[in-house]
Chain A
Amino acid sequence: MTRRTALFALACLAAPLAAAPAHAQLNLGKLIDGAKTAKKVGDSLRSISEAEEIKLGGDLAATILGAAPLVDDPALQLYVNRLGKWLALHGERPDLPWKFGVVNTTDVNAFSMPGGYVLISSGLFERMRSESELAGVLAHEIAHVVRRHHIKALQTALRSAALSDMNDYFNGGGGLGSQVSKLVIDGGKEMFVRGLDKDDEYEADRMGVVIAARSGYSPWGLGGVLQTLSAGAEDRGFALMTKTHPLPIDRIARLDAALGDRLDTLDGLVDDLPGFVALRTPPPPPPNPAIAPPARKAKPKPRR
């Protein structure tokens, strides 16, 4: 662990200390090497560097991979990475070291982590009808990373996880690094099982459809995935996805309101591609033309 990362993690530790006894603040103040107040420490958390974000994201990705390993299918993983990077090039952080992976679990979910890590479950992948649905999910996750939604959620998660860890920290022995790593990983787990801010989910939906469209894909792919989720809300494999996100029906309604027919005039966007169909066994169920209908007949009209 680098010194800067340790400092960042200490900053996470220190944030809840605003409400802690004065002597605790004092002790921590000495450890933090110049950070005199909890407020200053909080500020340093908000300005986490890109390198720290990547390190943090790696620890959190390793945690999800500890629950479900990568699918051993190089062709699939390459396909998802080419598509994912292509989508990321149409967001605001194209130069992050984006890494995408399909993990082996029948549970339906997708996660992203700071620094450009995106993992989707094979359970979700297998339910996708077309490449534009995959593009929609990846673009939604890319939006979370672009907007640093995890950093905000981690502040909340670490605040609740930190007090018990602080006891260990002050009273227990052991190296500083392992304590801080444990704190960050526990905070990340808390974030994964509680979910991000609900408004951030809606924002990622709105951004995701635009990133997909900018990359040449039908913006309605994400809508198809939300429909799949709307049918599976009571399915056990959807439990964590359901718990950590707004209701699919609410996401559909908000996305519909924001999207309307604004992107109907875009011409030549792709619903599906032969490469995606070839990855799927069996091919996706409904008849699904390769190309969206030409938009020349579509004129924006006021909708009720």
Chain B
Amino acid sequence: MRWLGVACMAVFMTLLAAPASAAEEGLVIRAAELMAQPFLDAPKAGPIAPNQPVTILERRGGWVRVDAGGRTGWVRVLNVRLVSAGAAGPAARGSGGITALLRTGSSGKTVTTGVKGMGEEDIRRAAPDYAELGQLGTLGVDAATARDHSQKNALKEPAVEYLKAKGPRK
């Protein structure tokens, strides 16, 4: 029995790993240079054109490392849109799928029971649930609790002004 359990777990982990490692496919939005490093003043690694298909290899701050038809380098994260990758893409990793099943199994919670939709018709039909609102009311935390989280993780608090609206870059 024990070995059966281990085998089941191995199969389960393999299933989990498959979608998790699926590459994200995207398109470059505007003309830019591939950069050798994720810095604005890094050496350039060649131009890339709009609609150039790319595979995202890594994300780091404002940059993504991409494979652009055999050339690799860094581009700005906001210069890449993703394309629907079907069953392998991130859109396919839903909480109603295997991820939620594992969470249910690992934590003993009944996460997957009573999963509801939140589409337009679901909202139009919804009756206010004041018991759930009461539950939500118990979840809020005070400022001190929030600061504990930030101090534990040494989060910085830089002063940053809000951004002005600008039209899209050409």
Q: How distant is the Cα of A202 from the Cα of B58 in the complex, in angstroms?
A: 27
| CB–CB B90/A127 < 8 A | yes
Q: How distant is the Cα of A163 from the Cα of B167 in the complex, in angstroms?
A: 38
Partner of A223, one of B17, B77, B123: B77
> Which of the candidate stretches A18-26, A35-43, A94-102, A165-173 sits at the interface with the other chain?
A94-102
Return the chain B residue nearest A248 by Cβ.
B81
| CB–CB B128/A228 < 8 A | no
Q: Is A197 an interface residue (CB 8 A)?
A: no
Return the chain B residue nearest A234 by Cβ.
B84
Q: Is B155 an interface residue (CB 8 A)?
A: yes
Size class of the B contact interface (CB-based, 8 Å)? 35 or more
- Residues 244-284 of A contacting B (Cβ, < 8 Å): 248-250, 252-259, 261-264, 266-271, 273, 275, 281-284
| CB–CB A62/B129 < 8 A | yes
| CB–CB A213/B38 < 8 A | no
Q: Is B143 an interface residue (CB 8 A)?
A: yes
Partner of A89, one of B79, B125, B139, B146: B146
Partner of B133, one of A62, A106, A249: A62
Q: How distant is the Cα of A248 from the Cα of B83 in the complex, in angstroms?
A: 12
Q: Least Cβ distance of B146 to chain A in Å?
A: 4
Return the chain B residue nearest A82 by Cβ.
B149
Q: How distant is the Cα of A90 from the Cα of B160 in the complex, in angstroms?
A: 10
Q: List 7 A-B contacts (CB under 8 A).
A: A61-B133, A63-B128, A67-B117, A81-B141, A129-B59, A223-B77, A304-B32
For the complex of A and B, the 9 pairs showing the least CB-CB separation, nearest first, are: A216-B155, A292-B61, A231-B82, A253-B168, A256-B78, A62-B128, A65-B132, A106-B96, A66-B126
Q: Taking beta carbons and an 8 Å cutoff, which residues of A are in contact with B? A: 58-59, 61-73, 75, 77-78, 81-83, 85-86, 89-90, 94, 97-101, 103-107, 109, 117, 119, 121-123, 125-127, 129-130, 185, 189, 192-193, 202-203, 206-207, 209-210, 213-220, 223-224, 227-228, 230-235, 237-240, 243, 248-250, 252-259, 261-264, 266-271, 273, 275, 281-289, 292-293, 297-301, 303-304
Q: Taking beta carbons and an 8 Å cutoff, which residues of B are in contact with A? A: 16-17, 19-22, 24, 26, 29, 31-32, 37-42, 56-63, 76-85, 89-91, 93-97, 99-100, 102-103, 106-107, 109-111, 114-120, 122-130, 132-133, 135-137, 139-143, 145-150, 153, 155-169
